[in-house]
Amino acid sequence: MENEKESKVYVHYTHTHPSKFSRWTVRESFQFMCKRPWQRVLDFYSNVVTGHCSLSELLGIKDLSPQTHPIHDGEIGEASDKTEFGNVLTKDRGGRWARLTFKIVLSYHGASFDGWQKQPGLNTVQGLVEASLGTFVDEKKAQQLKEKCLPVEGNAFVAGRTDKGVTALQQVCSFYTWKKDVKVQDIEDAINGAVPGKLRVIFVSEVSRIFHPNFSAKWRRYFYIFPLNDWEDGDQNSESEIDVQKISFDEKYGEHGSKHDAEFNGGEDSDNLIFDNDGEFGSRKKPSTFSIIRVDQLLQQLEGKLLSYKIFARDTKASRNIGPPTECLVFHARATEARLLSSNDGEGTKVMCIELVANRFLRKMVRVLVATSIREAAAGAEDDALLKLMDATCRRATAPPAPPDGLCLVDVGYTDFDRQNCFIR
């Protein structure tokens, strides 16, 4: 057993992609990600969900109209449903075509739920939504559920399941029923009454039966807010910053990781931590900061390329010949600096904002991309560092997932993606 463990070879341990400094180990990445004012990000997302502020205000965008970007005022215009899925209503048809399909756009605070997917004994968004939709289930289906001793609940199909802690501003789901007297306002009121302040309906509309929130979608947009500590240097955008400031992680972040390490690790145990040649945890001085400009440059290399992101995924098989494809087409990937304003703090909290838009995302792909781009930027890696990692044979070549607290599903698109509607240009 000992010989087998000694013979293990990890790509992360030995990969030799050019960089100015040594890359962080798994534990160092944990510590760098965890020791941050995440509560300020959670409070901001809570205010966005309730409609008290917006991402546009965070980035200082004042020239976008609601028609250009629905998130600006929290409303979705009628024009957004005038697609190939919304023009063909089926009210005059019979049989299976007579059912009514509703498109529901939701906003919810990730920290208040155990993710989207319904699970026994957990407070999930899907569980609350489907329980709220039970009132609108047709009599035939309700009778079938009662005969099976199951609760009378609706079935909600979603554009993409979010993990525990991930916020959504315009999550899209659908619900169908053969009940004829269902009104969109009744659906909105039922869901809004479930957990006020944490789950809110943005818009409900009747659409064609052929509409599916997942399969009909052409792109998804994610937004990540990474808070910077007060003691970190002010000009994070300076290219020379990474050359100057290097410290020991034990001095700044402490000897041990935080209580969230296991969650951010994505299921990896202590055997995956990186040790030096003597078998001891690396204590060499590593960079303690990174350049936001460098992160932006690394991410831009992904735009417009159809690539396999299996190395950046988690909770799926790293190498597979069957099953769903791992190729994703990233339309937009940018990073910039902003500041979270707070009534308690006049100056606010400096943050890095990352915007990612793609036709699809793998499990935990966004969080791993964020963490890996920060690690590579801190190490002073070359612009194509993320592209080179695509060829890695082990997922330990990438960083562990960034905390879910900073991640937000902004919206889902059913028409061709327009780069003019991006937050970060």
Give residue-wise pLDDT tens across range 244-278: 333 344 444 444 444 454 444 444 433 333 333 33
Q: Give percent of the chain with pLDDT exceeding 90.
A: 48
H helix intervals, 80-231: 125-132, 139-147, 184-192
Identify the pLDDT of residue 234: 41
Catalytically annotated residue among 43, 73, 92, 163: 163
The torsion defined by the Cα of 81, 86, 91 and 97, in degrees rounded to 10, comes to: -140
Q: Does pLDDT of 235 surpass 90?
A: no
Q: Does pLDDT of 87 surpass 60?
A: no
Q: Is 163 a catalytic residue?
A: yes
Element containing residue 369 per DSSP (H, E): helix 365-378
Identify the pLDDT of residue 328: 94
Identify the pLDDT of residue 399: 92
- Check residues 77 and 410 and name the one with the higher pLDDT: 410
Beta-carbon count within 10 A of 234 CB: 9
Beta-carbon count within 10 A of 19 CB: 17
- Check residues 103 and 77 and name the one with the higher pLDDT: 103
Tens digit of pLDDT for each residue in 307-355?
999 999 987 765 555 556 789 999 999 999 999 987 666 678 899 999 9
- Indicate the range of 289-298, 313-322, 348-357, 389-398 predicted with least confidence: 313-322
pTM: 0.81
Q: Does pLDDT of 46 surpass 90?
A: yes
Instruction: Report d(CA 43, CA 38) in Å as an integer.
Output: 9
CA atoms within 13 A on the CB side of 404: 24
